[in-house]
Amino acid sequence: MEDKEAEELKRRLQTVEMYMQKKKARTERLLKVGMPILSSILVAIVKIALSHMFGIKL
């Protein structure tokens, strides 16, 4: 009986580890793609804010 429970726990742990690895890989992909987009949006917002504050075009 204990062997079956141990096997079940091992199987569940492997499933959780696989899920976590997939989630981590997905997060890393999103960051790799999203960071340049976010930084360019941020730069655009800062340029607009500065041009409004100082009344100049950038």
Higher pLDDT residue, 55 or 34?
34
Residue 1 reports pLDDT greater than 90: no
Question: Under a CB-based contact definition with an 8 Å cutoff, are residues 23 and 15 in contact?
Answer: no
Type of residue numbered 35: M
- Rounded to the nearest integer, the mean pLDDT of the chain is 91
Which residue, chain included where needed, has tokens 């726990």? 9
Enumerate the domain spans of the chain.
1-57
Distance CA 14, CA 20 (A): 10
Calculate the CA 23 to chain-centre distance. Answer: 9
Please give the pLDDT value at position 21: 96
Residue 56 reports pLDDT greater than 80: no
Please give the pLDDT value at position 58: 60
Please give the pLDDT value at position 12: 96
